[in-house]
Chain A
Amino acid sequence: AQTVTQSQPEMSVQEAETVTLSCTYDTSESDYYLFWYKQPPSRQMILVIRQEAYKQQNATENRFSVNFQKAAKSFSLKISDSQLGDAAMYFCAYRNNFGNEKLTFGTGTRLTIIP
C-alpha cells in the first residue's frame, strides 16, 4: 500500500520570503501522480500543483514549484514570495496512474504567514 508522509506538522514564514514544505512517499509503482492541495480555513480543498512521475521536469505554477526526486521518493513544495493568503493547511497526495485509484493523503502541514 502507498503511504505519504509529511514530517512538518507546522511551518511559518515571513511574508515575501520563501518556504519549502516536505513530503515523502512510498510506492512500488513507477507510474503515478503527485499533488499538493491547499486547505484554507474555509475547508475548501484547492489543487495547488500536480506532478507526473514520468516527467523529470519539476512542475511550476506561478509562485509554487516542486522539487520532485523520484529515486528518493521525495516531493517538496516551494512557495516563493509568500503572501498572507497562502496561510492554510497543505496536503501532499499520491495517486496511481491506472484505473480510478484513490488519492492517498499525508497528514498535512499548517503554514502560517507572519506579516
Chain B
Amino acid sequence: DTAVSQTPKYLVTQMGNDKSIKCEQNLGHDTMYWYKQDSKKFLKIMFSYNNKELIINETVPNRFSPKSPDKAHLNLHINSLELGDSAVYFCASSQRGSSGNTIYFGEGSWLTVV
C-alpha cells in the first residue's frame, strides 16, 4: 500500500483554469506538507498542516489554497493557473517526535500549464 498517495499524477491544463491535487497518507502522521519542485529541480516548502491546522505558509500566492479536512488528507487547490505554476508538486507527511521527524513523500503530481 502506498503510504502517501496523491492524485492526479499528471495534469495538463490551460492558463486561467482552476485545478486541485489531492493527497492522502495512511501512516497515521499528524503533519502534512506541500512542496513544489520547479524546472531546475529546486524543492521548496509551500504549506504545512499539523492536525488540520496551518502551521507553515511560505510566501505562496493566495491563488494557492490548501485544505485539510482531516489529518490524513491535505488537498491543494490552485486558482487562475499561470505558466509559472508548471512544476512537480509533492505531498509529504511526518509524525512529530517519531523516526527522527523523517518526512515521507508522495510520488509527486506533475502539473503543466499551457
Contacts and interface: CB of A to CB of B under 8 A. Distances in A.
Contacts of A99: 55, 96
A107 interface: yes
A103 B103 contact: yes
A102 B100 contact: no
A47 B88 contact: no
B102 to A, nearest CB: 6
Contacts of B64: none
Contacts of B103: 95, 103
A100 B108 contact: no
B41 A35 contact: no
A15 interface: no
A50 B107 contact: no
Binding site secondary structure of chain B: strand
B102 A50 contact: yes
B75 interface: no
A43 B88 contact: yes
- Tell me which of B35, B92, B105 has the highest count of chain A C-beta atoms within 10 A of its own C-beta: B105
A28 interface: no
Given A50-B102, A100-B55, A100-B96, A43 B107 contact: yes
A68 interface: no
Contacts of B58: 102
Nearest to B90: A45
Given A44-B107, A44-B108, A97-B101, A102 B33 contact: yes
Interface string A82-115: 0000000101000101011111110110000000
B105 A44 contact: yes
A103 B94 CA distance: 11
A9 B78 CA distance: 31
Given A100-B48, A100-B94, A95 B105 contact: no
User: Which 7 pairs from chain A and chain B are nearest by CB?
Assistant: A45-B105, A102-B45, A105-B43, A100-B31, A43-B108, A100-B50, A50-B100
Interface of B: 31, 33, 35, 37, 40-45, 48, 50, 55-56, 58, 88, 90, 92, 94, 96, 100-105, 107-108, 110
